[in-house]
Amino acid sequence: MGTEIRLVSSAKQRKNISNGYVVTKQYDGGDASLIKTYSRVHVSYSIAGLGISPLTIAYKVDDSSQWKPLDPEPKNPHVATSSSRTKFKRTNGKLSTAELIIPGKVKGRSISLRFRLDSTGAEGTDFNDFILSDVTFTFRPIMRK
C-alpha cells in the first residue's frame, strides 16, 4: 500500500508558506470492516538542514474530528518532543525513517495522519525540501467471534 497525499492549490506559481498542513487518506489496512488495534507509525522522509524542524504530526481514527498527538519512540533519533509537540528532526536532505508510538494502542477501522508546519516554536520557520516517501502502520486486527 503506497502513500497517497493530495495537495490542492489555486496558485499557478510555487509559493513559500509559513504554516499549513497535509492530511493523508484514511488507511484501513485492506479491510475497512475489521476493527484494528494501531500501535506504531513509521514515516520515511527527508528535510534539508540540521536540528528540530517545525513539522509536527498527529493522527485521527475513523471519522473522528479530533487530531491527537503521536509520541516519539525513545530510541529513534529522528523525532523529538519540543514545545509539548512531537516534531520531526531535519535530516540534512537524507532519507530517514521516524518511528512514532500511538498512545494507548488505539482501536478503529481506519487511521489518518496530519503533517502540520507549526512555526510558532523556537525552531522558527526554516523549512526546506520536505520529501515524504512512505508511511507504514503497525496494527493487529481484532478477530470477530
Q: Which residues, 6+ apart, have CB-to-CB distance to 96 below 8 Å?
A: 44, 45, 46, 78
* Position 123 confidence tier, pLDDT thresholds 50, 70, 90: low
Q: What is the CATH number of the domain that holds 63?
A: 2.60.120
Domain that residue 48 falls in: 20-141
* Position 110 confidence tier, pLDDT thresholds 50, 70, 90: very high
H-type alpha helices, the chain: none
13 found inside a domain: no
Q: Looking at residue 1, what is its pLDDT?
A: 40
105 found inside a domain: yes
Q: Looking at residue 16, what is its pLDDT?
A: 58
H-run or E-run covering 87: strand 85-89
Number of domain units in the chain: 1
Q: Is this prediction's pTM over 0.85? A: no
